[in-house]
A and B are shown apart, each in its own frame.
Chain A
């Protein structure tokens, strides 16, 4: 059995001290180690990351990985999952990747309900490019590209994902590691498109620890029926990434639906397909 420590690599970690990414890295490693105990084959796991501070996670975890480009996390994930449905595909994206440059891919992944897990390291700031506003930064946010304050209202990705068709929609917080680990495990176990927006403070450019610590509360099964789509929307709107005083974290919505792979492939596994004989097809052209 693999321990979380053994899931590390020799790559030197270059995140800032206090970075929320450490919480996500520790949670995914712990989740993978636990899932291996439950029977998951780690050689059949492939992670995909975008570009930004978050994306270095591909170098830090010793499993198959595809370190993609900015905004393009879902398409390689989709290609991998369709080509070999036996693989467990996990995506890590930043809020710039997921909600800015690559939002079309995210919406389509949810619309298709492809069976994969998508974890957004949402620090609401561009960290690696040293501090500009992102699609989830609060209105009026003063970054290096918006010294007079952001002229846009933030996007609410939780609400967006429920609308778009994601069948597992959750929000985590890097300080609540235990909950985050169990959300990640549940997301990987869910058959369909699993989405987790993780509130991840950027210690250097947008330190939101105090803000979150004062406002977050955990959604529990007793208080929230995650099978009810309308209730999920109500909870999703409780905090609009700026406005709202209480921030629910936990599972907002989960439903079982046929996946894209089941519908498109109907049992076929492209990496094991044998090309057909073209001669009878050519005969029809005479």
Chain B
């Protein structure tokens, strides 16, 4: 199989991420499928940032520890990553700043020759890389024109000069007969999936790794027909979202664990008032501030259990950009159909990684909730057989719409009468039946690898990509619930029937999915847990699984 991995590293501010994007785009354009991993500490200048672009003939959802090419814009890149280099790998480095074995080019010298700025060292590096890979100049030219907004001519001159400096293409890369695909991060996919399902408003307070949803929607507000709002706090965000949904706007909020902690009083209010609420919770390593720019799957228990009192919710966990798109749309539709809170539970590794995106967009479309037909007197909390009360919105000339955080009668007037209280508690929880019937129609548990294997890797969310590749190498089965609340017990039973050994794979310290599944009577034989806030790479996980199997 044709594939290549390229690591580019430097200090924060060197522009290595942007350069990585251009490299990903180049390889996409010659037919490769991409996975892009971005590793950066929580700072703006200095430190050490690196990105890994992995390109393959087939779809991939994870990166590897080992790489074929390292592009070093600083010495740290060489020191930190030289052990990753494959036996026939190359280090392409900035010879003025870095000492290494490999191919040294004075990038700054080229930049200076054309009167460019230090940040344009990236352009020189990309030009040299294109030469090493034996790419056609026209491909590179098109990408530079498309991705660099300012001083295009200057960048082209610098890239061309570096490109021409490479006399022998040391790692020629075959062009593939596949169409390029959109390169999309998990966060962008969440945004687009929600828009496809009819999003009107997105409200969020900045918090890594969820901020990019806000940035992306704010940037594309007009094209996407969405209003974005950045309020004073996550408390303000969540309560504003309930206000806008009450008024009839399909609304989503986004945050990470710390911000979601502040939203829990609003979550409980959504439960009591039956106002649709959609929350994208992009996890990072906790507890508390934790490790802000690194990944963890440790908020599962929190999201499933957050909020005082008892109420329904749906938690969906995407493992790549396609699933992020799909679950965001599904979350919005389910929230409005059942008037409940729904979650897209992502993490840094899905939210900020880039994937080649290929999905039948029409699988996601807006589905309305049950709307009031205008007959008789409107009762916001009409006690129906399904438990779902028809929706009307303020401004309707024939309805008065009263919602409340108190227990209430059918009209939304406060009650403390025992019969009424029990009736309304039952009405709300009765929606579980209709919800379960609908959820049965979806693939809430996905199976990959060899479906006949007696050994299964059990995983959720961002470990998907690594698990699938390892399973394919070792001829194992992968069982991945896409929905975690309500836990799809019957589909899980079906997926795990005939499996003799279950190995749980999670990026957290206690095996939160394993506990949920074990609670349903399944025996988890082994757990492979990662608690260093780094995602599983394919090679890491392969080693871990082999160890467990030996």
Contact = CB atoms under 8 A, between A and B. Distances in A.
29 contacts: A43-B394, A43-B396, A43-B398, A43-B399, A44-B394, A48-B243, A56-B414, A59-B414, A63-B400, A66-B273, A67-B412, A76-B242, A78-B243, A79-B242, A79-B244, A79-B246, A82-B227, A83-B243, A83-B244, A84-B247, A84-B248, A105-B235, A105-B239, A108-B236, A273-B200, A276-B225, A276-B226, A285-B188, A286-B28
A128 to B, nearest CB: 12
Given A276-B195, A282-B184, A75 B406 contact: no
Interface string A71-89: 0101111111111101100
B224 A276 contact: yes
A41 B225 CA distance: 28
Interface stretch (A176-184, A200-208, A263-271): A263-271
Contacts of B72: none
A104 interface: yes
Interface string B470-495: 00000000000000000000000000
Given A65-B401, A69-B405, 8 more contacts: A58-B404, A76-B243, A77-B243, A80-B247, A82-B229, A84-B395, A108-B231, A279-B361
Give me the 9 closest cross-chain CB pairs, A-B, nearest first.
A79-B243, A75-B239, A76-B243, A285-B182, A67-B404, A83-B244, A83-B249, A79-B244, A79-B240
B410 to A, nearest CB: 12
B360 interface: no
A275 B247 contact: no
A270 B395 CA distance: 14
Contacts of B201: 82-83, 270
Most buried by A among B196, B235, B249: B249
Contact of B227 (A45, A66, A265): A265
Contacts of B414: 11, 56, 59, 67
B317 interface: no
Interface of B: 28-29, 180-184, 188, 192, 195-196, 198-201, 203, 220, 222-227, 229, 231-233, 235-249, 251, 265-266, 269, 273, 357, 361, 366, 393-406, 412-414
Contacts of B220: 281
Contacts of B413: 9-11, 59
A247 to B, nearest CB: 31
A273 B182 CA distance: 26
Contacts of A280: 223
A199 B514 CA distance: 57
B200 A278 contact: no
A64 B394 contact: yes
Most chain B CB atoms below 10 A, which of A9, A65, A77, A81: A65
Contacts of A81: 243
A86 B225 contact: no
A108 B232 contact: yes
B526 to A, nearest CB: 39
Where chain B touches its partner, the secondary structure class is mixed
A283 interface: yes
Nearest to A284: B182
Interface residues of A, number: 55
Contacts of A72: 235, 239, 265-266
A10 B379 CA distance: 14
Interface of A: 9-11, 41, 43-46, 48, 51, 56, 58-59, 62-69, 72, 74-84, 86-87, 104-105, 108, 264-265, 268, 270-271, 273-276, 278-283, 285-286
B403 A75 contact: no
Given A43-B395, A282-B192, A268 B227 contact: yes
Nearest to A86: B395
Given A275-B224, A275-B366, A278-B195, A270 B236 contact: no
A75 B405 CA distance: 14
Contacts of B229: 82, 264
A84 B249 CA distance: 8
Contact of A285 (B242, B273, B357, B402): B357
Nearest to A85: B247
A76 B240 contact: yes
Given A87-B247, A273-B227, A286 B236 contact: no
A46 B394 contact: yes
Contacts of A51: 405
A275 B182 contact: no
Nearest to B366: A275
A77 to B, nearest CB: 6
B227 A80 contact: no
Contacts of A84: 247-249, 393-395
Contacts of B239: 68-69, 72, 75-76, 79, 105
Contacts of A104: 232-233, 235-236
Contacts of B184: 282, 285
Contact of B241 (A59, A79, A108, A286): A79
Contact of B199 (A75, A83, A108, A275): A275
Contact of A270 (B183, B200, B231, B406): B200
B223 to A, nearest CB: 5
B240 A78 contact: yes
A82 B216 CA distance: 20
B198 A80 contact: no
Contacts of A276: 195, 222-226
A84 B222 CA distance: 18
A67 B378 CA distance: 18
Contacts of B224: 275-276, 278, 281
